[in-house]
Amino acid sequence: MANKASRPGRTLIAFVLVVLAMYGGLALNGEWTPKLGLDLQGGTRITLEASTTTGEDITPEKLEEAAGIIDSRVNAYGVAESEVATQGNRNIVVELPGDPQPEIVDTVKQTAQLRFRLVAGQPQVGTPAEPTPSPSPSGDGQGGQGGQGGEEEKGQKREKRGGGGNGDEASPADEASPSESPAGRALSEGLVRADGTPSPEPSRSPEGDQGDGQGNEGNQGNQGNQGNQGGGKGDQPAADVPTNDSTPAELLAWARNPDARSLQRLAEFSCDQAGDVVDDPAKPLVACDEEGQAKYLLSPALIEGTELADASFGIPQNEAQYVVTLDLEGGAPTDAFSEVTRAITGTQEMFAIVLDGQVLTAPVVTSPITDGNAQIQGDFTAESAESLANSLKYGALPLRFEVPVISEEGPTLAGNQLQAGIIAGVVGLGIVLVYCMLYYRGLGIVVLASLGAAALITYAAILFLSENAGFTLTLPGIAGLIVGVGVTADSFIVLFERIRDEMRDGKSVRVAVEAGWDRAKWTCVIADAVSLLAAIVLFIFAIGVVKGFAFALGISTVIDLLVFFFLTKPMVSWLARFRFFSGGHKWSGLSPEHAGIERIGVARTAQGVAR
């Protein structure tokens, strides 16, 4: 009995320690103000204007579709309650509360036109150097890669080759190892199977580094490409340029032997021009990596981003870096992906993943990917991986947009409305406390402690969610929290009245507390479950600020259950040990008079006399 009696005290101590630990964590973070929504704080306004340069028809249906995709993207970061709406015939307006994260702004601007393309040859330095005179007036029959180390056309920076002639005369810049060059860094990223098979950092084979005197490289991914520039006897470039309707075999043949015009474009292209690139899926593309340090010649699109079934991000088991996982739709996309990865496995040929005309990664493939599940590896952070996954998951925009106009916006509600909402909440909480103190007397201490604890936990939860889940507090959200006060008060009333019912049946206070709890707890759990279910349904199907109301109501309901089980009940059991409550003092709230026990006794006595 002693052990049982001591349990309420231990539970209360543990509860207080948990609340203190929560605020200790918040103190380490140093942030004590929750993020406010557009209506209370204002934020950032981004105006996107649909471009007409691509010749696409701008229809209301496409504009609405684009707005829906952007809304799904920005609100996928949390309960930020960003607002997305169309404006006029060409504009989409995105309003983000507060000072949004750069990743969210980048997500809004991305068209997310993802395409999978084959890489022709090897990546080159992003900005061509000035032309330099060739050390040798003629090839001397050694081809472009033998002789003096190979001087590339159009002033491209020379790559150091290990074979033939006087390859040791390369410039100091050429002496950097592939892993230190921009191209080498690009190659350090990889595409792997979703089961975790790694793509090792590629290295050049000895045959690929040595000229053969005929202008050909041994590397299968570069056959004929560099040799033709050197003036040797390599294979002539393919005459026919494939399109995105070509078979995977035709695209692969072109990537191994591209046409002369595409090679010329690659040689003349500088990553400074990357902003002017038009990503046409039906044509070869010259594109750069995200840092602008390496440029690639790419085949027409093999797979479109619209053929992705799903995209997600995370850290695989036994790994330390974030990856983005892709799941292709079955059928033709998976078959094409399987055919190409089979053909280039182990060849050091590369497969580029291009987003909005920019190369995300250009990995080699170490094993065929036959099931359509793969991972993008790279130098991802949690934010960049989430941003990319959301952009891919919610699809490409049906329209291309001009450079967005970004401006600051003030709050949509006046400051006195926020003040009025806070005053309403405080007044409502005060009325509940006064009523409980007058009606339940000494038990009002339990009400005061429970509501205070619920308020502390709710505020801590809001701060935590604001910092980690993007939750923003709006006026409807404040209303949801105020409604939660009523939900919490209902739990007290149910418990106290159940205890009085047990006392009317002749049980002592301490026994009545335990018996009343057994009857009251399931009633409160069912009531809170209904409120929580309503909040979930409202959150799923509602739009705009109504989501904030539902989310706040759900938080309040969950916190009410925690406080009810770990503070309210243990505190009532603990107070019942004191004579003030167990003896039925008239101000305890558990006196026979207050519970109506005397009236019941008088009625029974009168009934006996009448008989």
CATH number at 64 reads: 3.30.70.3400
Q: How many CA atoms lie within 13 A of 492 on its CB side?
A: 29
d(CA 380, CA 370): 25
The answer to whether residues 137 and 93 belong to one domain is no
Tell whether the model's pLDDT for residue 307 goes beyond 70.
Answer: yes
The answer to whether residues 196 and 281 belong to one domain is yes
Domain for residue 81, yes or no? yes
Burial of 148 (0-12, 13-18, 19+ CB in 10 A): buried
- In terms of residue numbers, what domain contains 261? 114-382
CB-based contact 373:193 (threshold 8 Å): yes
Q: Which of 110, 133, 156 is the last residue of a domain?
A: 110
Contacts of 514 (CB under 8 A, 6+ apart): 573
Does the global pTM surpass 0.75?
no
pLDDT confidence of residue 573: 93
The answer to whether residues 164 and 287 belong to one domain is yes
For the ranges 103-117, 414-428, 462-476, 591-605, the maximum mean pLDDT occurs at 462-476
Tell whether the model's pLDDT for residue 575 goes beyond 80.
Answer: yes
Task: Please provide residue 358's backbone torsions phi and psi, each rounded to the nearest 5 degrees.
Answer: -130, 135
Tell whether the model's pLDDT for residue 562 goes beyond 90.
Answer: yes
Q: How many folded domains does the chain comprise?
A: 3
Domain for residue 403, yes or no? no
Tell whether the model's pLDDT for residue 119 goes beyond 70.
Answer: yes
Structure tokens at 466: 């604001």
Tell whether the model's pLDDT for residue 302 goes beyond 80.
Answer: yes
- Distances in Å between the Cα of 74 and the Cα atoms of 81, 96, 124, 313, 467 are 9, 8, 35, 16, 16
For residues 34 and 18, the model is more confident at 18
pLDDT band at 275 (very low <50, low <70, confident <90, very high): low
pLDDT confidence of residue 6: 52
DSSP H or E stretch at residue 108: helix 102-109
DSSP H or E stretch at residue 300: none
Tell whether the model's pLDDT for residue 473 goes beyond 90.
Answer: no
Q: What is the separation of C-alpha 492 from the centre of its chain, rounded to a whole number of angstroms?
A: 40
For the ranges 42-46, 359-363, 551-555, the maximum mean pLDDT occurs at 551-555
For residues 575 and 468, the model is more confident at 575
Domain for residue 289, yes or no? yes
pLDDT band at 593 (very low <50, low <70, confident <90, very high): confident
Domain for residue 405, yes or no? no
d(CA 166, CA 251): 36
Domain for residue 398, yes or no? no
**Cα angle value 571/596/569 (rounded, 5°):** 15
pLDDT confidence of residue 79: 56
The answer to whether residues 128 and 104 belong to one domain is no
For the ranges 76-90, 335-349, 384-398, the maximum mean pLDDT occurs at 335-349
pLDDT confidence of residue 200: 38
The answer to whether residues 100 and 136 belong to one domain is no
Determine what percent of the chain is predicted with pLDDT higher than 70. Answer: 73
pLDDT band at 600 (very low <50, low <70, confident <90, very high): very low
The answer to whether residues 93 and 118 belong to one domain is no
CB-based contact 230:143 (threshold 8 Å): yes
Q: Which of 110, 126, 147 is the last residue of a domain?
A: 110
* Spatial CA neighbour of 171 closest among 179, 160, 182, 180: 160
The answer to whether residues 15 and 78 belong to one domain is no
> What average pLDDT score do residues 296-316 get?
86
For residues 364 and 342, the model is more confident at 342
pLDDT confidence of residue 237: 42
Domain for residue 499, yes or no? yes
pLDDT digits over 57-108, tens only? 788 888 888 888 888 777 766 556 778 888 888 889 888 887 776 777 777 7
Tell whether the model's pLDDT for residue 182 goes beyond 80.
Answer: no
d(CA 385, CA 265): 32
pLDDT confidence of residue 415: 58
pLDDT digits over 128-138, tens only? 655 544 444 43
pLDDT confidence of residue 521: 92
The answer to whether residues 120 and 13 belong to one domain is no
Tell whether the model's pLDDT for residue 327 goes beyond 80.
Answer: yes
The answer to whether residues 181 and 232 belong to one domain is yes
Helix (H, G, I), strand (E, B) or coil at 229: helix
pLDDT confidence of residue 413: 64
Averaged pLDDT of the chain:
74
DSSP 499-514: HHHHHHTT--HHHHHH
d(CA 191, CA 376): 5
Q: Which of 214-218, 300-304, 447-451 has the lowest mean pLDDT?
A: 214-218
The answer to whether residues 139 and 255 belong to one domain is yes
Q: Which of 341, 366, 382 is the last residue of a domain?
A: 382
Q: Give the max Cα distance, the chain.
A: 135
Tell whether the model's pLDDT for residue 555 goes beyond 80.
Answer: yes
Domain for residue 23, yes or no? yes
For residues 129 and 436, the model is more confident at 436
CATH number of the domain bearing residue 473? 1.20.1640.10
DSSP H or E stretch at residue 321: none
d(CA 604, CA 610): 10
d(CA 590, CA 441): 9
> What average pLDDT score do residues 319-347 get?
85
For residues 112 and 298, the model is more confident at 298
pLDDT band at 112 (very low <50, low <70, confident <90, very high): low
The answer to whether residues 370 and 326 belong to one domain is yes
Helices vs strands, H then E, count in the chain: 19, 14
pLDDT band at 460 (very low <50, low <70, confident <90, very high): very high
pLDDT confidence of residue 57: 79
> What average pLDDT score do residues 27-44 get?
81
d(CA 157, CA 581): 90
pLDDT confidence of residue 134: 44
The answer to whether residues 507 and 475 belong to one domain is yes
Domain for residue 85, yes or no? yes
Q: What is the 3-state secondary structure (H, E, C) of 155-217?
A: HCCCCCCCCCCCHHHCCHHHHCCHHHCHHHHHHCCEEEECCCCCCCCCCCCHHHHCCCCCCCC
- Distances in Å between the Cα of 570 and the Cα atoms of 6, 437, 577 are 10, 19, 11
pLDDT confidence of residue 128: 63
